[in-house]
Structure 1
Amino acid sequence: MTLLFIYGTLMPGLRLEAEMHGAGFVGTAQVPGRLVDVGRFPGLLLDLSTGDGQVTGEVYEVDDAQLARLDVVEGMVRGDRDASQYWREAVSVLSGPLQGQPVQTYVYNRPVDACAPIPHGDYRRYIREVGRES
């Protein structure tokens, strides 16, 4: 089983929530990084050298088969980071029931020059603020 941090359209009530059916909810959490608006979904960016920013989301326990399906949903091509839209990486939880624990998450792997920042790092709050359905 893998602990997976999700922060966008995979969360309950959002567009891709069905992809998480069967996963075990562990709790809410925050991880280091920042969010950008990539269009119909957010992208998490890691710059752990600065220590700036945190992203709000949820941690789930997923099995290997579900993780493989999620890799496809997220456009991750195993073994080929350059071809991947998102890349799965380990980060440490900043808060919540798993504080200090490593979890996997999908990091956006494309240029973000034209992407709007989501300064507070909370995608659900952001889509309410901009009036977008997800």
Structure 2
Amino acid sequence: MKHAIFIYGTLLPGLRLEAEMHGARLLGPAHIAGRLIDVGLYPGLLQGDGQVTGEVYEVDDDHLARLDAVEGMVPGDRAESHYWREVVTVLSGPLQGQQVQTYLYNLPVDGCTSIPHGDYRRYIREVGRES
């Protein structure tokens, strides 16, 4: 089965975990509703009224299972998951209006820095951080 997945952080091309997306097919750039926070070496996506910038890829079942492992998602056990995969609606781009999956941050966010513009690539450039 094929799955459309929205990515917004270190899985993006040119960033630290891009190799995890090898074999995925780019469907296009996109924005979704939400807000980003800096949780250390990567961003976390939370529900919110802002917009988050990213890309949508098509992956198969095996690839999705690998991404779940990378994101620390324990299928069927949200309480034990670092991130949790949920369905969201694309707000803009070639897939506007379509539903895709993405990973929401699932741990406490006390002390995390907000990324107000919702663009992780831009944020790491602004703060001078390697991905």
Same-fold call, TM cutoff 0.5: yes
1:80 aligned to which of 62, 77, 81: 77
Instruction: Please give the root-mean-square deviation of Cα atoms over the aligned residues, in Å.
Output: 0.4
User: Which of 54, 64, 68 does residue 57 from structure 1 map onto?
Assistant: 54
Unaligned runs of at least 5 residues, structure 1: none
The Cα offsets for residues 2-56 of structure 1, whole Å up to 9 and x where unpaired, read as 0000000000000000000000001000000000001000000013xxxx10100
Aligned equivalents of 2:87, 2:6: Cα separation in 1: 9
Match of 1:3 in 2: 4
In the other structure, the counterpart of 1:89 is 86
Aligned-pair identity in percent equals 75
How is 1:1-134 mapped onto 2 (pairs within 5 angstroms)? Answer: 1-47=2-48, 52-134=49-131
1:75-121 per-residue CA deviation (whole Å, 9 max, x = no partner) reads 00000000000000000000000101000000000011110000000
- Opposite residue 50 of structure 2, the aligned amino acid is G
Aligned residue pair count: 130
After superposing on structure 2, the runs of 4+ consecutive aligned residues of structure 1 that deviate more than 4 Å are none
Q: TM-score, normalised by structure 2?
A: 0.98
Provide the C-alpha distance between the structure 2 equivalents of 1:114 and 1:68, rounded to a whole number of angstroms.
Answer: 30
Which amino acid counterpart does residue 108 of structure 2 have in structure 1? P
Letter in 1 for 2:34: G
Residue deviations 1:52-80 (CA, integer Å, cap 9, x gap): 10100000000000000000000000000
Name the TM-score, length of structure 1 as normaliser.
0.96
Unaligned runs of 5+ in 2: none
Which amino acid is 1:126 matched to?
Y
Q: Helix, strand or coil: the match of 2:68?
A: helix
